[in-house]
A and B are shown apart, each in its own frame.
Chain A
Amino acid sequence: MIELIIPAIISCILAFFVVYFTTPPLIKILVKKNYTVKDMNKKENVMVARPGGISIILGLVVSEIVLYGFFQLNEILALIITTTAAFLIGYVDDRKVMGGWFKPVTLAIAALPIIFLGAYDSDLAFPLFGDVQIPLLYLGLIIFMIPITGNTLLYLGLIIFMIPITGNTINSIDVLNGVASGFMVIASFTLSICLFILQNYEIAIVSLPLGFVSLAFYKYHKIPSKIFPGDSGALTFGAMYGVIAIIGGVEIIAAIALLPAVINSFLFLSSVKRVVEHREIKGKPVEHTDDFKLKATNDKTAPVTLVRLILAGEPLTEKQIGFAIFKLAIFSGILAIISAFMMGVSL
């Protein structure tokens, strides 16, 4: 067991502190180069540095390379390559607004190393009922899993029973200060706990840096944000989460931990009734009150979103909405952990 504990500690420390120490200079460089965007939910004209994906990918790659030095697993190689590719795709989208096709197509290609390196198991594990082998479907599942967890577009169809519960993205939840990184802290640590429960120790350790990177980035992303992750950061988070789900054989549990984000996409899709990028929607789901709280609009053309439903009762501050989303993430995290325990029970 000691041979697992030392790599785990080293990689977690590296993951956290690389992001913790590289983000402040990154913010300075981005501000100096005028790579900033307006924070739309602030009364004053606040400009925030973007993208923070650079420090996120640095923390993840450094820690995973160290883990590869200890374990030499193809799974880690696949994770590094796919996550780095997702970062590059997001970075291109940060610099230049690409067409709606760009992210799903390129992220599907980014998932190919998982197949080429054989870093997957063709059994899909369900709580209570056990595994089912879907060999022909599974290549499609791997290819589509990465865009699903790391993209703004919604997907319907292929992914068996994950589809009703997924179709959402880490990117789509990146709507308020600190929400994407805070949500990732909860979801990724939940996934790590589930992998430990399932005694998949090596992949559990491989998954830990994602939580620590998210935690370190949250320090600068939380309200009031000093930096936004951008598409490069959100896609990096989402892609790595998706890869861990695949290489750990915990796709269903990973989807359960993501349920609040899935609900967001489901509500969005079922209200606009077509597959569309968020920026193409004209109606505004929320607006500001005089004291700059957020409130739900009565605009019937605007999509229904998670934030809009949270605001249906009363106007709330950005911070209050963030915490409401985190509470939902914790609730779904508990359901995911219960599901992990149920994996060991057979009806």
Chain B
Amino acid sequence: MSGLYGFLFAMWILIIIGGGIMVVLLGPFSIQQYGDFHWIITSGIKVTIALVLVVMWILILSKLKNYIFKKELKF
């Protein structure tokens, strides 16, 4: 059970770090030189970066899961 609490806590920390990246780096990011379409391009880039980060977060969680539950996962 302690492993589950540790995993919960690790996920919470990842959410906070993820929020920091979103607000500090991704949020203010903007491209202005494409006229009326700059907001579409900016959003598209943000979506792409966000999805890449999502994949990275899932990989980190997978590694964490394997580390924390290495004993339990030998089913």
Interface residue ranges, A against B (CB under 8 Å)? 124, 126-137, 156-158, 160-161, 163-165, 252, 255-256, 259-260, 262-263, 266-267, 270, 296-300, 302, 304, 306, 308-310, 312-313, 324, 327-328, 331-332, 335, 339, 342, 347
Interface residue ranges, B against A (CB under 8 Å)? 1, 3-5, 7-9, 11-12, 14-16, 18-24, 26-27, 39-40, 43, 46-47, 50-51, 53-54, 57-58, 60-62, 65, 69, 71-73, 75
* Chain B, Cβ-Cβ closest to A312: B72
CB distance from B4 to the nearest CB of A (A): 6
Contact A130 B69 (CB under 8 A): no
Contact B18 A164 (CB under 8 A): yes
CB distance from B28 to the nearest CB of A (A): 9
* Chain A, Cβ-Cβ closest to B58: A164
By a CB distance below 8 angstroms, the chain B residues around A156 are: 54, 58
Q: Within the assembled complex, what's the spacing in Å between the Cα atoms of A335 and B12?
A: 7
By a CB distance below 8 angstroms, the chain B residues around A299 are: 75
Q: Jot down 11 A-B pairs with beta carbons below 8 A, ordered by A.
A: A124-B22, A126-B16, A126-B18, A126-B23, A130-B23, A132-B22, A134-B27, A164-B11, A164-B14, A164-B57, A164-B60
By a CB distance below 8 angstroms, the chain A residues around B22 are: 124, 126, 129, 132, 160-161
Q: Pick the contact of B75: A136, A300, A306, A324 (CB < 8 A).
A: A300
Q: Pick the contact of A270: B1, B8, B65 (CB < 8 A).
A: B65
CB contact under 8 A between A160 and B54, given known A260-B8, A263-B11: yes
Contact A136 B18 (CB under 8 A): no
Q: Within the assembled complex, what's the spacing in Å between the Cα atoms of A163 and B75?
A: 27
CB distance from A96 to the nearest CB of B (A): 34
Q: Within the assembled complex, what's the spacing in Å between the Cα atoms of A310 and B7?
A: 13
Contact A161 B50 (CB under 8 A): yes
CB distance from A142 to the nearest CB of B (A): 15
Q: Within the assembled complex, what's the spacing in Å between the Cα atoms of A267 and B7?
A: 11
* Chain A, Cβ-Cβ closest to B14: A164
Q: Pick the contact of A136: B3, B20, B43 (CB < 8 A).
A: B43
From A136, A310, A313, residue with most partner B Cβ within 10 Å: A136
CB contact under 8 A between A328 and B24, given known A126-B16, A161-B50: no
Enumerate the 10 nearest inter-chain pairs by beta-carbon distance, A residue then B residue, closest first: A126-B19, A132-B27, A164-B57, A136-B43, A161-B18, A312-B72, A129-B23, A132-B23, A129-B20, A163-B54
17 additional A-B residue pairs with CB within 8 Å, beyond A128-B16, A136-B40: A126-B23, A158-B51, A160-B50, A161-B22, A163-B57, A164-B11, A164-B15, A164-B61, A259-B11, A260-B4, A263-B7, A267-B65, A270-B61, A308-B75, A309-B72, A328-B4, A339-B12
By a CB distance below 8 angstroms, the chain B residues around A133 are: 27
By a CB distance below 8 angstroms, the chain B residues around A252 are: 15, 19
* Chain A, Cβ-Cβ closest to B51: A157
By a CB distance below 8 angstroms, the chain A residues around B5 are: 328, 331
* Chain B, Cβ-Cβ closest to A255: B15
Q: Pick the contact of A128: B19, B26, B75 (CB < 8 A).
A: B19
Contact A165 B11 (CB under 8 A): yes
Contact A129 B58 (CB under 8 A): no
CB contact under 8 A between A328 and B8, given known A126-B20, A129-B20, A160-B22: yes
